[in-house]
Chain A
Amino acid sequence: MTKEKFDAIVVGAGMSGNAATYTMASRGLKVLQLERGEYPGSKNVQGAIMYASMLEEIIPDFRNDAPLERHLVEQRFWIMDDTSHTGMHYRSDDFNEVMPNRYTIIRAQFDKWLSGKVREAGGTVLCETTATELAWDGSGKAIGVRTDRSGDAVLADVVVLAEGVNGLLGTRAGLREMPKPQNVALAVKELHFLPEEVIAQRFGLTGDEGCVIEAGGTISRGMAGLGFVYTNKESISLGIGCLISNFAETMERPYALLDAFKRHPSIQPLIAGSEVKEYAAHLIPEGGFNAIPRLCGNGWVVVGDAAQLNNAVHREGSNLAMASGRMAGEAISIIKSRGGLMDKASLSLYKTMLDKSFVVEDLSKHKDMPSLLHTNSPNFFTTYPQLISHAAQNFVRVDGTPKIEREIAATAAFIKARSRWGLVSDAVRLATAWR
């Protein structure tokens, strides 16, 4: 491989890697980006919802040519039991704005587009190249990356590890631990194709309007997990994810869970007649603030999913990836312009920027939520959804039973299932973790 030395090597061409490479290349740095897939995007999996403001900070006019599916005007939160869903829907015409806030995207297409911008900015993108390990000098500074292309390391002043949730370079070098089973969710999803007008009709959409459903309840069979249904232009992304520790305890088959979700009477009519064109699986970091590893060291920084930067409560990940990649790129560019060394002390500028941003603010806000949901998953994902469904049905079904009897029965069901003390304690713990 090439003997030239780069200002920076970026490992990975996902959201964080592309953001970092674009940021540095557009500021004149000589950047090499390594991607193991055939093309950028071919290894990347997401739901996927893309939040505009984090991309605007990198490519302000992205709406001109980015492959966007639908802008979201409606969000449905569903609590499901085996035959019902109780929903909270929010739909607003305010989301039909000139510069919409959220879009559904298809990652393989989106990442290919973003990689085109990286190349235009002057970044060198090398695909079909798997990085195998970091190269170090005698003083313990990362000086480059070894790949499966040749034995010699490719050299750079700094390495940006944007290697995703399964980042091998960082764990191999002992920079961070392998994610714990209780800190990562396994999500499986399918892409269901339907004619555009059928999707519009079923979800009540006009033009490029989109709708997403996030659903929790008995669909995860007592595990901490969520299902989702996202509308794309001519397809529906549908999936379900649960913590790996829960999968290992229950021995549930992920694809059986997905099929049961698809057969649910509330979901089935939405995808009836569709043609499935892909089945994907991916891990999602769920450990939150407490799972964030060391973010920088001598000659390296870590960004995106590799750094566990994912907001499980708000289902945000790719925006945190983009923001962290951008900040790493900015920090490195600043250090470079000052003629500074890429050592731990100077690279901590990246950590300072991240700490001050929404990324760490938001993750720190919900830092107790992951462990709460993990330890109480049967209550939150089975017992309460069933109780809520029964209460809702009690409220709407009319059969001559006096209302007061129905209300007493509904309240009694909650107390019987969780006890008065249990209800109060669940509410307090949930509120505390949220706050």
Chain B
Amino acid sequence: MKTAIAERIEDKLYQNRYLVDSGRPHITVRPHRSPSLNLLALTRVCPAKCYELNQTGQVEVTADGCMECGTCRVLCGANGDVEWNYPRGGFGVLFKFG
């Protein structure tokens, strides 16, 4: 029997289709010395785990697996920690089922 329980987020994202707009990320993090609480929360709350803490303590984003849900926009858009745009037309996640 196949297992229904995918434990790793990478395995989950692997099911999805994306057309990555190479070199033109639709989300950027404002340069910072230490992250705000909301920005730090994204390292756990982002459902695609796009946000990670680097070795020097800053939060970085890699938006390739982004599902364009907007959680980071809601938490960090208003204070300017995150600049959030939609990908260019045709790029980004392509839901087969939605």
A binds B: yes
List the interface of chain A (C-beta within 8 A of B). 36-38, 41-46, 48, 106-109, 111, 127-130, 147-149, 165-166, 168, 178-181, 184, 186, 188, 190-192, 235, 244, 247-248, 251-255, 259, 262-263, 271-283
| A44 touching B89, Cβ below 8 Å | no
Q: Does B53 contact A (CB under 8 A)?
A: no
Distance between A241 CB and nearest chain B CB, rounded to angstroms? 10
| A276 touching B4, Cβ below 8 Å | yes
Task: Among A127, A168, A255, point to the contact of B89 (Cβ < 8 A).
Answer: A127
C-alpha gap A192/B50 in the complex (Å): 24
| B70 touching A43, Cβ below 8 Å | no
Q: Which residues from chain A contact B37 at a C-beta distance below 8 Å? A: 248
C-alpha gap A147/B89 in the complex (Å): 9
C-alpha gap A148/B90 in the complex (Å): 11
Q: Does B61 contact A (CB under 8 A)?
A: no
- 10 nearest A-B residue pairs (beta carbon): A128-B90, A107-B98, A281-B47, A166-B70, A279-B12, A128-B89, A281-B69, A254-B47, A108-B98, A281-B67
C-alpha gap A36/B19 in the complex (Å): 13
Q: Which residues from chain A contact B16 at a C-beta distance below 8 Å? A: 278-280
B contacts with A: majority SS: loop
Q: Which residues from chain B contact A148 at a C-beta distance below 8 Å? A: 88-89
Q: Does B68 contact A (CB under 8 A)?
A: yes
Q: A38-B90, A283-B70 are in contact. List 8 more A-B contacts (CB 8 A).
A: A41-B95, A43-B68, A48-B98, A108-B98, A178-B78, A254-B45, A283-B71, A283-B74
Of all chain A residues, which has the CB nearest B48? Answer: A281
Distance between A77 CB and nearest chain B CB, rounded to angstroms? 24
| B96 touching A277, Cβ below 8 Å | yes
Q: Which residues from chain B contact A109 at a C-beta distance below 8 Å? A: 97
Q: Which residues from chain B contact A166 at a C-beta distance below 8 Å? A: 68-70, 73, 84, 86
Chain B 68-85 interface residues, beta-carbon cutoff 8 Å to A: 68-71, 73-75, 77-78, 84-85
Task: Among B5, B9, B67, point to the contact of A280 (Cβ < 8 A).
Answer: B67
Q: Can you pick out 14 interface pairs between chain A and chain B where the beta carbons lie within 8 Å of each other? A: A36-B87, A36-B90, A108-B95, A108-B98, A128-B90, A130-B87, A165-B70, A166-B84, A166-B86, A168-B84, A253-B44, A262-B5, A280-B16, A280-B97
| A168 touching B74, Cβ below 8 Å | no
Chain B 3-36 interface residues, beta-carbon cutoff 8 Å to A: 4-7, 9, 12-13, 15-16, 19
Distance between A15 CB and nearest chain B CB, rounded to angstroms? 12
C-alpha gap A400/B96 in the complex (Å): 56
C-alpha gap A247/B12 in the complex (Å): 20
List the interface of chain B (C-beta within 8 A of A). 1-2, 4-7, 9, 12-13, 15-16, 19, 37-38, 41, 44-45, 47-49, 67-71, 73-75, 77-78, 84-90, 92-98
C-alpha gap A180/B19 in the complex (Å): 30
C-alpha gap A396/B41 in the complex (Å): 43
C-alpha gap A168/B77 in the complex (Å): 11
| B88 touching A244, Cβ below 8 Å | no
Distance between A127 CB and nearest chain B CB, rounded to angstroms? 7
Of all chain B residues, which has the CB nearest A253? Answer: B44
Distance between B72 CB and nearest chain A CB, rounded to angstroms? 10
C-alpha gap A243/B92 in the complex (Å): 25
Distance between A42 CB and nearest chain B CB, rounded to angstroms? 5
Q: Which residues from chain B contact A190 at a C-beta distance below 8 Å? A: 12
| B70 touching A44, Cβ below 8 Å | no
Q: Which residues from chain A contact B9 at a C-beta distance below 8 Å? A: 255
Q: Which residues from chain A contact B86 at a C-beta distance below 8 Å? A: 36, 130, 166, 168
Task: Among A45, A130, A271, A272, point to the contact of B88 (Cβ < 8 A).
Answer: A130
Task: Among B2, B41, B73, point to the contact of A273 (Cβ < 8 A).
Answer: B2
Distance between A224 CB and nearest chain B CB, rounded to angstroms? 15
Distance between B80 CB and nearest chain A CB, rounded to angstroms? 12
| B67 touching A248, Cβ below 8 Å | no
* Known pairs A178-B73, A251-B41; A41 contacts B89 (CB<8 A): no
C-alpha gap A279/B47 in the complex (Å): 10
Q: Which residues from chain B contact A128 at a C-beta distance below 8 Å? A: 89-90
Q: Which residues from chain B contact A272 at a C-beta distance below 8 Å? A: 1, 4
Q: Which residues from chain A contact B90 at a C-beta distance below 8 Å? A: 36-38, 127-128
C-alpha gap A45/B70 in the complex (Å): 13
- Most chain A beta-carbon neighbours within 10 Å: one of B4, B15, B70, B96: B4
